[in-house]
Structure 1
Amino acid sequence: MVQQIEQRHLDFVKDARKTFEENSEMHTYRNGTHDDNDTLIALRYGMDRDCILVYELGECVANFVQQTRPVPNPRNEVMKFAFEMEKQLSANEHKGGWKRDHHQDLTGFLLLNLEKLRHELIKIPPNRDKQEITKRCANIANFAMMVTDNEGNNNES
């Protein structure tokens, strides 16, 4: 059941919106932490994750639609692949990152991994190493991400 919307609810939505905008991975926001002020909970949801659903002690207050920038929820395949990319980045953490690497070096490593992937893929299917294929694909994606991080639209300079 929906109840009367009060100014405190609107203020809470404003705080939740700000928090969700600052952290696109966050799904839940609360107005307190285990004390008397902990009465409101905001949930980010919707196809584009741009809606905020507010609950007060389990009761729905209101559905505030399109309150944040749309942030699509990646497909399971994309998330699984992103975890593989992160796994490869973590395995190479000791190398110190890519911020100072020239795009020619990064694309060279990308092509080297592409060639290793091609060698694995030309094998007869029972002889293919699926872990090697996944590793090479993640490395290729990581080197492409490094190039865009240094040279593309995401570059802050």
Structure 2
Amino acid sequence: MHATNRTVLAAVEAAGITPRMVWLDEHARTAALAAAQIGCDVGAIANSLVFDADGEPLLVMASGAARVDTDLVARTVGAERVERASAAFVRTATGMAIGGVAPTGHPSRLRALVDTDLGAFVEVWAAGGTPDTVMALTFDELVSLTGGTPARVR
């Protein structure tokens, strides 16, 4: 098990959630690849997207079926500018590489939004800290784990 997976699992347990991590046969760097391996709807994939919001990291847990509207997100969080973060920015903010960013286990808690579209699913799947791991959560667990605000993101 990768050290990042251990960090994520510890953070999930510390939040009072029973971890349900799954190791995939292949890296799943996209929602479609993850959904195909898990056997779920692509909309049930909770993409961990890190944005640069006026120079601060913003975690958006978006449905795999959504294309995030950065103007809407900026209005929602009161930022002048929200744009995709660089790989280095993501790594610094989360301690994880793009494609495997978990909703928790970061060096410090990030301001977060959780896509309300994910609430339509009994179970959602988020990255487990590496591109070959995912974990099953309920929408409420995801909101609790991230400390995020449920919001429309598209």
Give the TM-score normalised by structure 2: 0.22
Between Structure 1 and Structure 2, which shows a larger proportion of strand residues?
A: 2
* Structure with greater contact order relative to length (CA < 8 Å, sep ≥ 6): 2
Higher radius of gyration, 1 or 2: 1
